[in-house]
A and B are shown apart, each in its own frame.
Chain A
Amino acid sequence: MGRVNTGFSSSATLDSRLPEIAANLQRKVSGAVKQGAQLVADAAAANLVYGPPPHHLKDDIYVERVGAAEYRVLAGEKDTYYGHVRENGGVNEPPRPFLVPALEEKTPEVLSLVEAALR
């Protein structure tokens, strides 16, 4: 019977490396997702134009870490609180989405980044 060399001397060695592999994978994927989220944030900002000064929603789009390999793109701060109204429409204005189109546009690139991290 042939023998396959797995590179591991025993199952105990294999077990002991799994957490290390998982941690490394998570770090790589998390970095890729963060990079992808920033691409989405930049695309969302590019979908907006500067209005009258002094506060601009375009300058208040940022990435926030939610958890391991999980990030969200947020739009709006104290003085630019209206991001969600612009995206989804208000009682006096129609929707003018800028976040979902950015996510849709950049999803293939984000997936590519994650795929590259997994290789």
Chain B
Amino acid sequence: MSLAVRRGLFNALSGASSIKALVGDRIYYDQAPAGAQYPYVIFSKVPSGAKIRTLKPGASIRRDIWLVKGVDRNSSADVVDEIADAIDALLDESTFTVSGKTVLDIHLYGDVSFPEPDGDQLYRHAGGNYVVVLA
């Protein structure tokens, strides 16, 4: 099921004009490829999923958490904060298409925002963890 959600989330992110305007096609799962240009979007699954059984035989609900964030190499956090805002506007209390499943709910679980110094470079990360509930 993770693969279907991953594909659905990728399609939602890459299809959003607000995100494309900020990062182009640079949307990556788990980790950006070596040499990727900044800024970009990273999304990955937080290993915390739960299957919730319902009263209807054979029917269950799946609740997962996905990290979605922007990454930029910049002394300023402005660009990465814009990306985080665009991600949140796209996902929080919204929906997207997952093949074979229905997305019942997406909501912000918690913000993610931090600088990452590396040598003489400063990288910025901003986005959030999102709960995705599927039936």
Determine if chain A interacts with chain B. Answer: yes
User: Is B116 in contact with A85, judged by CB distance below 8 angstroms?
Assistant: yes
Distance of A105 Cα from B47 Cα, bound (Å): 10
**Which residues in A have their C-beta under 8 angstroms from that of B31?**
89, 93-94
Kindly count the residue-residue contacts between A and B in the assembled complex, taking CB atoms under 8 Å apart: 52
Report the Cα distance A28→B69, complex, angstroms. Answer: 38
Q: Is the CB of B52 closer than 8 A to any CB of chain A?
A: no
Q: Are A104 and B48 in contact (CB under 8 A)?
A: yes
Q: Could you list some 22 contacts between A and B, CB below 8 A?
A: A84-B114, A88-B112, A88-B114, A88-B125, A89-B31, A89-B69, A90-B118, A91-B32, A91-B73, A91-B116, A91-B123, A94-B30, A94-B31, A94-B44, A95-B46, A95-B67, A97-B67, A100-B46, A100-B65, A100-B110, A100-B129, A101-B46
Q: A88-B112, A101-B47 are in contact. List 11 more A-B contacts (CB 8 A).
A: A88-B67, A88-B114, A90-B125, A91-B116, A92-B118, A93-B31, A94-B31, A94-B44, A95-B46, A100-B109, A105-B48
Task: Describe B's contact surface by its main secondary structure.
Answer: strand
